[in-house]
Structure formats: structure tokens, C-alpha cells
Structure 1
């Protein structure tokens, strides 16, 4: 029997998840139409009914309301199992779902939000992760639009049940807006951008305490959007008039600089499929054998006129969300710095290359060993060191960029940045990431002006 849930290629094996749900639906078919049994289902029967109802909701739009009423009547776990099934389908099947099933997925997500189902916040996050950066296909823009509308329409429910998920929505849509605002206007995109702007501004103005949960990366994302009037006004208040946010204790943007961004936010802009491929590359592929894997990854995820912007998010993921254990670090497995070097060399557009470098060095600027991990700053250091002899231009451009950030990133708070960068260098030596900074300061192939700039930096904090 052909699948009504996913698209299956002619030579593709049946998907186990889809097959299990479909077989349960077919087996329980007569029990899924009214009048429903009044008997309380046994635990195993309850789980089977959840599976069958879910399949019915996704594959029978005309009976979806009936299926949901059935679920409401039998639910005994706060919808926890049903939501877990939904998250699993999104995580493992979303790209393969037929469009009608995707429409139903949004519909049933709204139903779960309405009843404050256990785990509905994870459900919303799983959908946010399926929005692909740099993808302007109708299907991807449709998902952007539907989710932005959902967050706005269900605002009160979300605030009542799981308000923190709004910080995830803010992170995702600030990043997406940076891409969407660079594309030539069309009617659909203009409407989408309006919804995205309205959502982000609403969160920042009405629930600023949730914005603080994001930490320093909130500033990194906002800086890409200051050309939009609404965000220019917010930026002005952040820098000049922070009391406008009516949040006790918030008095300066530097307080955001000091808050490390959790990896859960960084993961929002990496799809689960992309994450699994990156983790495979950084866990199982040996250094020297990575070329075909990198070519496959590039064809799969980075080919397309606007996909290059994804490199910013991938580098941030590698620095902040993939911290390999010592046995991997000490093995011959492809190191993080080598993948980042490849990604940097893949950049063809100057402003994207600059954003990738900022993504790589961002934690250096505000590094505090009491709250930050040396693993976040390690890749940039090792990329500079390992590139010195074979790829000197890479070390040059990275060190030059870092020194420029010191002087120009936030001139009014240069002392904070100077302290962060100098702490980064010190901790990298103390933790044994490199033996000594002499590898840079005494290197004969580096430009004298860069070595002098580095020496001045190191002397200024002694």
C-alpha cells in the first residue's frame, strides 16, 4: 500500500516509523470512527490509539477534528506521548512528508498549544529547526510564515504555558530575517517579513526578560538588522536608553555581552539532518579522508544561490554546540578547526565571510573563564596555528580580523573586549591548547604589523 504520509522513491525501502503508524491505523480502523468505546483503554491500547489517531490526523484531513475529539476523550498523560510522537515525526520525517501532511502538522500543533499539552514547547522548537536558512523555496517560506503566524495567534497560550519558547522563536526569526531582507522583494516575502518583524518586535518590547535568556548572540543577530527601522529603534534603546525596556537591573548592553548563549539556541538554525551529518564528519571521518564527505555535504546543504549564509550558523554550531571528548580530540579524527577552515575557504561573498569570522571569534570578545568554555574559542586558535605554514593567508586574515574587532567592534566598551580577548589567549595557553603564544608572536612568516599588534595586546593587560 502506497504511503499517504511521506514521499517514497521507487527503490526506497519502507520507512519503519511510517509503516508502524500506518499498520496501527489500519488495525484499529473501526475503533477510530464514532461512536467511540466508553471503556478506559489499557496502557498498551492507549499507546496504540495515540499512534493510530496521529496517523489519522495527518492523513485524513476531513476527519481530523473527529480524531482530535477522540484524543481529547481518552487522554490520560497530558498528551505527552502524542506530542512525543509528533516530535519524532518532525525530527525524522519532515522533509519527506507530503504537503497535505505538513498542513495537518501545523494544524495539530495549534491544537496541542491550545490545550497546553506537555512538551508543546519542544514541538514548536522541532518545527523551527526544520526552517532551512538561505532556502527561498515556496515550501520553506510557507513553513516560516505558518510558524510566525502560530506564535502570534497563540501568544497568550504560549505565555501561559511555556513562555521561554518565545526566546527560541526570537533567535530563529532574527536570523531568518537577515536572509529574507537581502532578497529582492516579492509579495509573499514582503508579507512574511512583516510577520517576522511583528513577532520579534513584540517579544523584545513586551517580554524583554525572555530576550536576555539568549545572551550575547542576541546582539550579534540584531546587528544584521539595524537597517530595518523597527530594529534600529530597538538598537538605539539598547545602547543609549536601556531603561526603555522596563526590566529591573538591566542598565547596559554589556550585561548581554557577559551572558553566554546556550547551545540550544545555536542548534535552532541547524536542521536535525545537517546536525547528524556534521557530527558524523567530526566523530568518524579521519583527517586526510574528509574530501569526499565535505563535497557530499556541500552538494547536499550548501548548493544554491543563497545557501552560503548557512556557513555562519554551521561555524557557530561547531564552536558552541559540538564539543568532542578527549579521546576524539587526541585521535586522528577530523578536527573542528579543519572543517571551519574548509568552510571559510568556501565563502565567495565578502560580507558572509566577515560574518563567518565574527561567528568564529564572537566568544573571544567577551570570554570569561568563570562562565565560558575554552572549547568555544579553541577552533579559532588551532586554525590560526595549524595554517601558519601551508595556509599563511588564513592565519593572516584571521589575526587581522581579530585585531580589527578589538578596535572597532564596540569602541565605547573596548575595555570589556580587550579583557575578553586577552583572557582567551591566556586560557588557551593555560589549558594546553597551545604551548606558547610564541607560535604567533615569533613566527617569521607573519606580517610584522600583526605580530606587533598581538604583542601590544598581550602587554596591555599584564
Structure 2
């Protein structure tokens, strides 16, 4: 019986990807033992041999070096096809693969870095995405530790050949560090935290220009770590460079960074929910999603990453906007209600409003700020507490997020409100300013904010349809 790469229930259908690798190995197994045949493969034969070798590496750890020597001898495309196969295994099967295969996948990654394989940066990112936020399981902490080792051990090579992937790793490890540093009583985390901190500090000290490539969300992540002694000097140094901070605020973070903090499996389910599920039918999908990905209190922190993904990395098409598919603001509202810890809820709200604070019509995308305003206006009057809490939080950010740059933030929020009206996301703010159930203080603040940019309103709302 062939070695199974994945855990599979008796009733579960076979994975086409695993089946293709297994069948290739069965067919070509005699050719995978030395001495290797000295024949020139056709394209189809070459692809099948790559599949067989990958299966051999993943299933026969004791023979992996021999399989890699075979691969080195036959490769004709810079390892492009082989690397793409490994990426597919990580993206499609990682959550199900047996523990020994997970070990082999990291081993494969290291070998491919050594030979500068085409697409190895994509593979590194695929593995980084499998590190789950708020997950303190042994398997997840092991992957986190091994990936820190990969980036630390291959530092010189990556700096020279794949520098941008270091910024991706920095984003991931800064984010998971905020989770790991909140847990003080788990001795297993101490060594991991030290390694994560050492790597992040090294990137800041040696490759600061790569840090700046992340954009404004770099500051959002760093603020969660200012209590960590090793980051205090970095924070002070950054604040002392006033131009760098202002430039970071004005640099929109690329959506690929937000994809780093949700697994490919999670992304698939979220995109299905936001493109296929009709409004009114979403509850059972939300329940299923919550049980699968948010069922442990520590995992709540992934809500922050999901909100950021929804706002900045999932922008519905015009067809979806015109349909009765569940809109983004509904899912964001549900996610906020899932938060049981104050610090998680606060960070989730910050993730929702973050682009508002520095909004520049020439740089930013209106779809990043659309969910927050639609959640506020559509929560009136049935869920007025949601509207109240969000408006109150927004004004707290304006007043206290960065006192030294309050004018910049005031300008950003005012610009956001102006654009939301001019582009038709809302045709009126009257639903908020004239709401009797809303605090007079909040209404007064909102009116002042609107008048700052001379934003006027009408009396109804409609969605925005962007080209």
C-alpha cells in the first residue's frame, strides 16, 4: 500500500494532487533508484518524473538526498515546475499532510533556496502563510520556529537574491510576535520568541529599506511590540526620523502582505462567502467558519488579520456589488462580534479604520474604507450600539493615535469622508447626523469633521460601483 501524504477520513474523496504524485511514483519507481537512466525526456515525461521525485522526497525521508541528486541531474527549467508542484502541495494540502511530510517540505524549501530555484520566493511565502495567528499548537509553533531558522540560516543568500521575501517574513514574524509576547507562562515559547525577535531586529538594523517597503502597516504592527525591550530602541529611532514616519503613513501597504496572515484554505472560504453566498443565507457559513478557524479563544487574534484582508485584499467586482451577495461590511460586523477580548476588538477596529487615518485619494483605494462606513450606516437603527462604538473609536483615533501628526490624521479622515460621499458610497450622512439614538457628542464631532472638508449630504444611500 502506497504511503499516504495526508490524513484522510474514510468518506473523504481522494486529492487529485496527491493522486497524481502517487501514480507518477508508482509508474516510475524503478527509474528512481541508481543507476539512473541516461535518457532525454519528452516534456510530459519530464513533468511526470518531477512528480515522482517529489513524492519520493516527501514519502522516503531516508532516501531524500538521492532523490534530490536525481532531480539536479535531470532538471532543465531552473526547477520551475518542481517548485510549482511543492507550492501546490503547501497551498492545497498542508493542513492535512502528515507530520513527516511537513518536515520534508521545509527540507525541500532549504534545498531549493540553495540552488536558487525559480519560484523559491513563492514557496517561502506559501510556507509563511501556513503559520496561523493565535495558534499555540505544537505543530504551528514548530513551523514558526523552522521558518525563522530558514530565514536566519539562509540570510546572506536571501539578501542577495530574494530581498523582498525578507520583508514578507518580517511582516509575518512581527505579527505573530504580538501573539507570542502576550503569553508569558508557556516555556516552549521562550526560545521561539528569542529567535523571532533576533530575526526582526536584524532586518531593521541591516535592511531598513526593506522595512519601509511594507508601508503604513509596519507602524501598526510595531505598536503592538513597544513593550518588548528589543523593539523600544527601534521604535525610538523610527519616531526620531519624522520624515520616515510621515512617509510610511502615506504609503499604502500592498495587499500581498495581508494575504500572508491568512492561510490559503481560509482565503478560499472567505472568498466563497463574499462572492457566492446570498445575503440572508450567510449565518450557517459563518458558524462553520467560526468553528473551523476561531473556535479557541487564543485564535481570536486572527480576526484582526481577516478584517485587514477583507478591507484591503478582497475588492468585489461590479457584478458582485450589483448582486445580493453578502457584502463585506456584514462579515466585518460579525467578526467584531466574535471578539471577546478588549485588546483584540480594539485592534480589529484599528484594522478596519487604519486606511482612514492617512487616506489620500491619489494613493489609496476607496474600497479599503468602504466596509467601515457601510457598517456604520447600515447598523442604524437596529444595531445602533455598533454605529456608536465605531464612531467613538474613530474619533479616539483622530485625537490620540499620533498626537504629533494629528493634523495629518484629521486630513486623512476628512478626505475619506469626502471621497465616500463624492463617489456615491453614501449619498448622505444624515442617517448618522440626524439619528436621535446616537450620542449628541458624536453627532457634533461628525458634523465638524464633515464641515472641515465641506462635505454635504442628501437623504439616502447606495453602493459604489467602481470600474
TM range (shorter): over 0.9
In structure 2, how many angstroms separate the alpha carbons of the residues matched to 1:166 and 1:62?
Answer: 31
For residue 368 of structure 2, the aligned residue among 366, 376, 398 is 376
Deviations 1:272-298 (A, max 9, x none): 111111111111111111111111111
SS in 1 for 2:325: coil
RMSD: 1.1
In structure 2, how many angstroms separate the alpha carbons of the residues matched to 1:424 and 1:461?
Answer: 10
Match of 2:96 in 1: 96
Deviations 1:120-147 (A, max 9, x none): 0000000000111111010000000000
Deviations 1:168-222 (A, max 9, x none): 0000010000001111333321010011101111111111111111100000000
Give yes or no for the alignment of 1:54 onto 2:46: no
SS in 2 for 1:96: coil
Give yes or no for the alignment of 1:257 onto 2:249: yes
Match of 2:167 in 1: 167
Structure 2: runs of 5+ lacking an equivalent: 455-467
Match of 1:458 in 2: 450
Match of 1:201 in 2: 201
Match of 1:286 in 2: 278
Number of residue pairs aligned between Structure 1 and Structure 2? 454
| TM-score when normalising by structure 2 | 0.96
Give yes or no for the alignment of 1:343 onto 2:335: yes
Shift of 1:331: 1.4
For residue 287 of structure 2, the aligned residue among 286, 292, 295 is 295
Shift of 1:424: 0.3
SS in 1 for 2:243: coil
Shift of 1:84: 0.2
Shift of 1:442: 2.1
Q: How does 1:85-124 map to 2 (within 5 A)?
A: 85-124=85-124
SS in 1 for 2:13: coil
Match of 1:231 in 2: 231
Equivalent pair of 2:3/2:59 in contact (CA under 8 Å): no
In structure 2, how many angstroms separate the alpha carbons of the residues matched to 1:2 and 1:299?
Answer: 33
In structure 2, how many angstroms separate the alpha carbons of the residues matched to 1:46 and 1:20?
Answer: 14
Give yes or no for the alignment of 1:29 onto 2:29: yes
Match of 1:178 in 2: 178
SS in 2 for 1:218: helix
Shift of 1:2: 4.8
For residue 333 of structure 1, the aligned residue among 325, 331, 336 is 325
In structure 1, how many angstroms separate the alpha carbons of the residues matched to 2:116 and 2:244?
Answer: 35
Match of 1:192 in 2: 192
For residue 387 of structure 2, the aligned residue among 382, 395, 400 is 395
For residue 449 of structure 1, the aligned residue among 431, 441, 444 is 441
In structure 2, how many angstroms separate the alpha carbons of the residues matched to 1:298 and 1:459?
Answer: 41
In structure 2, how many angstroms separate the alpha carbons of the residues matched to 1:177 and 1:124?
Answer: 19
Shift of 1:437: 2.0
With over 3 angstroms needed to count, the CA separation of the structure-2 counterparts of 1:71 and 1:115, relative to structure 1, is same
Match of 2:410 in 1: 418
Match of 2:461 in 1: none
Give yes or no for the alignment of 1:360 onto 2:352: yes
Equivalent pair of 2:415/2:453 in contact (CA under 8 Å): no
In structure 2, how many angstroms separate the alpha carbons of the residues matched to 1:384 and 1:4?
Answer: 49
In structure 2, how many angstroms separate the alpha carbons of the residues matched to 1:458 and 1:14?
Answer: 57
Equivalent pair of 2:56/2:67 in contact (CA under 8 Å): yes
Match of 1:15 in 2: 15
Deviations 1:334-377 (A, max 9, x none): 11001111111111111111101000000000001111100000
| TM-score when normalising by structure 1 | 0.97
Shift of 1:10: 1.9
Shift of 1:37: 1.7
Shift of 1:48: 1.1
Match of 1:311 in 2: 303
In structure 2, how many angstroms separate the alpha carbons of the residues matched to 1:4 and 1:158?
Answer: 33
In structure 2, how many angstroms separate the alpha carbons of the residues matched to 1:37 and 1:290?
Answer: 56
Shift of 1:35: 0.9
Structure 1: runs of 5+ lacking an equivalent: 243-249
Shift of 1:261: 0.5
SS in 1 for 2:369: helix
Shift of 1:461: 4.2
Match of 1:212 in 2: 212
Equivalent pair of 2:5/2:18 in contact (CA under 8 Å): yes
SS in 1 for 2:314: coil
